[in-house]
Amino acid sequence: MKLSRRVMIGLALLGSLSPLLGSCQARGSAKGVPVGISQSDQNVQLLQAVQNGDLAKVQALLKAGASAKAAADSGRTALTWATKGDHVAVARALIAAGADPDPQDDQRSNALLVTGETGSVAMLREVLKAIPDLTRTNRYGGTALIPAADRGHLPYVREILKTTRIKVNHVNNLGWTALLEAVILGDGGPTHTEIVRELLAHGADRKIADRDGVTPLQHARQRGYGAMVKLLEK
């Protein structure tokens, strides 16, 4: 059977493209990322992979076109999900792909603020590479330093004070600074006492009182936190 010139050219073109198409399909299926899905669907898959801490899937989806800035309906970004799960390698991949650390979800959480809650120094270091806004505040009006101080995350407090210019005397919606929270919400033990020491060493103002006019020193005395009292009396 004799083929027309047009058919012969078409077959030749198809033959030259088939290896490329086959290669693309192989790469997509090898990583478990379906070929041809929309970016919206890719973003949904990315958020799920991030929550699962599935680094390989995250990397494959980013390569396939998913956005590192993807966010759920709540406004929670992929990077914030990564910090929630302390998936450090996943966060590193997202930041390398252009993830923004600052957007806040409907609970006013973002990547940096979450690290203050979890106390993860490794995650803090990754998030700082994205140059976050240190003035962003959580639903209580506090910076990342404040929850870290009241929860006893001593290594975190040391790291954020050492590596950033976060405002040590920021006052939250309750009228408390990190120093007040370390005394009021702490247990008066060695860890919270060391946090008080670190805060004072980095410029915490011991004269800033709560809304009732009670200073950190007075709170420490009322609670019988002798070691804190000694630090605050200096």
Q: pLDDT tens digits for 83-131?
A: 999 999 999 999 999 999 999 999 999 999 999 999 999 999 999 999 9
Share of the chain above pLDDT 70, in %: 85
- C-alpha separations of 74 from 31, 68, 104, 128, 200 in Å: 28, 16, 9, 24, 37
- Under DSSP, the state recorded for 2 is P
Q: pLDDT tens digits for 177-194?
A: 999 999 999 999 999 999
Q: What integer is the mean pLDDT of 29-54?
A: 85
Domain boundaries, the chain: 38-133, 142-234
Going by pLDDT thresholds of 50, 70 and 90, the confidence category of residue 36 is confident
Domains 38-133 and 142-234 fall in the same CATH topology: yes
Expressed in angstroms, the distance from the first to the final Cα of the chain is: 102
The DSSP H or E segment spanning 51 is helix 39-52
Asked which of 2-11, 41-50, 116-125, 171-180 is least confident by mean pLDDT, the reply is 2-11
Q: Which CATH architecture has domain 142-234?
A: Alpha Horseshoe (1.25)
pLDDT at 4 over 90: no
Q: What integer is the mean pLDDT of 136-148?
A: 98
At 37, list the tokens. 């899905």
Q: Compare 153 and 28 and report the one with higher pLDDT.
A: 153
Q: Measured between alpha carbons, how far is 145 from 154 in angstroms, rounded to an integer? A: 11
Cβ pair 158, 181 in contact under 8 A = no
Coil, strand, or helix at residue 141?
coil
Q: What integer is the mean pLDDT of 158-176?
A: 98
Cβ pair 220, 183 in contact under 8 A = yes
Q: What integer is the mean pLDDT of 170-183?
A: 98
Q: Compare 4 and 200 and report the one with higher pLDDT.
A: 200
* CATH 1.25.40.20 for domain 38-133: yes
Going by pLDDT thresholds of 50, 70 and 90, the confidence category of residue 16 is very low
